[in-house]
Structure 1
């Protein structure tokens, strides 16, 4: 059961795939190395797309490093990657369409259109051109976006705004159909960006955390600004996109939390939103936050049981009481309290390590291996329990040995467990 009113996505990285995007030192780049890197990265993207759809997520911001050094001058490398990998891109295009995932990009901080330096602007345009090409190769239409900030002030904010407007209006239609602009937390507030949108006809992405840090004088409400930003999106631009994040306590303003806490998110959607919208979650634990938030939105018992299968042993290692409470909660499949389920997961995640619970969880996991394990392995696991109890080894070391056994005795159910993939 997919919720159609609000959809969430995550950005660039997936914590639970066994592979990530690769690059290399530029000095070591050759045609052969480039082919190897791009081939790996496209396969990684394929797996990320499949994972994303399999977890009921329909938004994904792609890494700008998909094609390493794509816009950098390369004297020794002459590969036409768009032609060379045409078949792979065609397959990805078909996959994205079939999975119905809305892809996007967020070019980096050096993509600055309003710089007073012409060479900086030229490089920024080249970078946007690269991203537009990627979107085209992946089947993106006008609803697939690439978001940028306005840039710097350079001592004269009004002049900087006018430079941005001038450059933005001179961009090719290939770039402009995908380009959207975002309020930031330092220089250009939401009123600035809405003004720029009026003169460039570029859609506006509202960022809640940036707004809370940098509000306009005589600021209107967050809900009003979200609605005003939504008015800049045309039918061809697709559903309005906003960015949502939470401020990390004790960190500099704008620092994102490690996870998206459910309660503040619920308060946000109940008080600040008034219609269908796509929300890009900007958070350190990436797909994990997207999965739990989308689960809350969808209220899908099958998805809840699937998520619980991944978290159960990690929860058991923190609190047997919470583990049992979740088991009981999920038994009522007709009236499942999804909010309580996710709150239990969040509570367990924030608990300190507990050696007794850790050993108990380890014994449950050992049950998957004990009939295959050698006498030597049985002895080592027994000793590891004693060492952990006596604090002679760490919990990380205790889990590491169980992970070694998992690699020797593969088990798909355990392989997906958060227990073996703690977030650092």
Structure 2
């Protein structure tokens, strides 16, 4: 028997006017004559984003949702090179403190980040790598400001294949040594839907001591003929032995046969059950991040759909046992 907790990504379709990703373009920022006022506007947007983040966390608690992906766009232009001297953490410290207080009062809540696709640790470009590290540092500062243990809180893809996947994997290992230890500890890796398969991602995770986030949909979209995720599951679980966090996976469904890699509005419960039946009992708990267009409504709908399965024993509004 395994406890399954469901989570969703960054935004609610039920909670109105609660976007944690409001932004300002650098073009708009640069047009403001008073730069001090422009910085103040950025700080105001960031505070609004964090206020909405707190609203989302309270919404989640009211519906028993203890797993949530934070928006990586909480602070607009935080890593822009023209704003190098901006101490955004000091400006939003009070707002971060409110999130911190909530998390202290809800110790079972697990939150993490999934930085954007331009964070590429295996890039051959020095500027791309430097900007990726800068973005990771921003995530680290936000986690610290929220009082969250930074270890294993940022999901990354391996990166680009650059015409030679073997070299791209070795470049990841080389560039990994250029990343500071505190940021290394923050990272977990995910198999992707186009380039790096489960086996290739496992190779890196085992070599570098990094937990692997298994994306079931990505595996179905991108795996070799000889690859079998069930046979690799024990290795996936083993990558999590050095962390206090439960094993994490991503669940989504294809939008259509023609758009197989795209995420559907909701999650197909039968597809999810195919996965759960294979892994039940292999771990005491697994946290499953729903990547669906309908966000929290996809979670609520999946919970309703799962009630029809005899192997499912409901615990609360967002978790259950699979027997």
Alignment TM-score, normalising by the size of structure 1: 0.66
Task: Give the Cα separation in 1 of the matches to 2:129 and 2:98.
Answer: 34
Q: Which has the larger radius of gyration?
A: 1
Partner residue of 2:167?
159
Out of 45-54 and 140-149, give the one that drifted further.
Answer: 140-149
* Corresponding residue for residue 257 of structure 1: 264
- Partner SS, residue 287 of structure 1: helix
Provide the rounded CA distance (Å) in 2 between the counterparts of 1:289 and 1:205: 20
Q: Which of 18, 34, 42 pairs up with 1:34?
A: 42
| Structure 1 residue ranges (4+ consecutive) displaced by more than 4 angstroms after TM superposition | 294-298
What are the within-5 Å matches in structure 2 for residues 5-404 of structure 1? 5-19=3-17, 20=19, 21-29=21-29, 30-75=38-83, 79-99=86-106, 100-142=108-150, 144-220=152-228, 222-273=229-280, 274-275=282-283, 276-294=285-303, 296=307, 299=314, 303=317
CA distance 1:12–1:262, shift in 2 (3 Å): same
Shift of the alpha carbon at 1:217?
4.0
- Cα 1:149–1:59 change in 2 (3 A) is same
Q: Secondary structure at the match of 1:278?
A: strand
Taking the aligned partners of 1:93 and 1:4, their CA distance within structure 2 comes to 29
Structure 2 distance, partners of 1:62, 1:146, is: 10
SS at match of 2:7: strand
**Counterparts of 1:144 and 1:27, CA distance in 2:** 34
Q: Give structure 2 stretches of 5+ with no counterpart.
A: 30-37, 319-323
How far off is 1:96 after superposition?
1.6
- The structure showing larger relative contact order (alpha-carbon pairs under 8 Å, at least 6 residues apart) is 2
CA distance 1:142–1:131, change in 2 (3 Å): closer
Moved more, 42-51 or 274-283: 274-283
Instruction: Tell me how far apart the structure 1 counterparts of residues 9 and 178 of structure 2 sit (CA, whole Å).
Output: 29
The CA deviation at 1:107 is 0.8
Offset from partner CA, 1:135-183 (integer Å, 9 cap, x none): 1111221555111111111122211111101112332122111101111
Query: Aligned equivalents of 2:155 and 2:195: distance in 1?
Result: 16
Contact 2:119 2:132 in 1 (8 A): yes
Deviations 1:244-274 (A, max 9, x none): 1111224423111111132332332123443
SS in 2 for 1:65: coil
Instruction: Provide the C-alpha distance between the structure 2 equivalents of 1:152 and 1:4, rounded to a whole number of angstroms.
Output: 35
Q: Distance in 1 between matches of 2:85 and 2:135?
A: 18
Q: With structure 2 as the length reference, what TM-score do the two structures score?
A: 0.86
Q: Deviations over 1:334-383 (max 9, x none)?
A: xxxxxxxxxxxxxxxxxxxxxxxxxxxxxxxxxxxxxxxxxxxxxxxxxx
Deviation at 1:18, TM superposition (A): 1.4
Residues 54 and 98, structure 2, Cα contact 8 Å, conserved in 1:
no
CA contact (8 A) 1:106 1:147 kept: yes
1:228 match: secondary structure: helix
Whether the aligned pair in 2 keeps the contact of 1:142 and 1:236 (CA below 8 Å) is no
SS at match of 2:68: strand
Structure 2 residue aligned with 1:327? none
Question: Is 2:191–2:215's contact at 8 Å kept on the other side of the alignment?
Answer: yes
Give RMSD over aligned pairs.
2.2
SS at match of 1:180: strand
Q: Which moved more, 1:228-237 or 1:184-193?
A: 228-237
SS at match of 2:136: helix
Cα distance change, pair 294–167 in 1 and its aligned pair in 2 (3 A) = farther
Aligned equivalents of 1:300 and 1:206: distance in 2?
A: 24
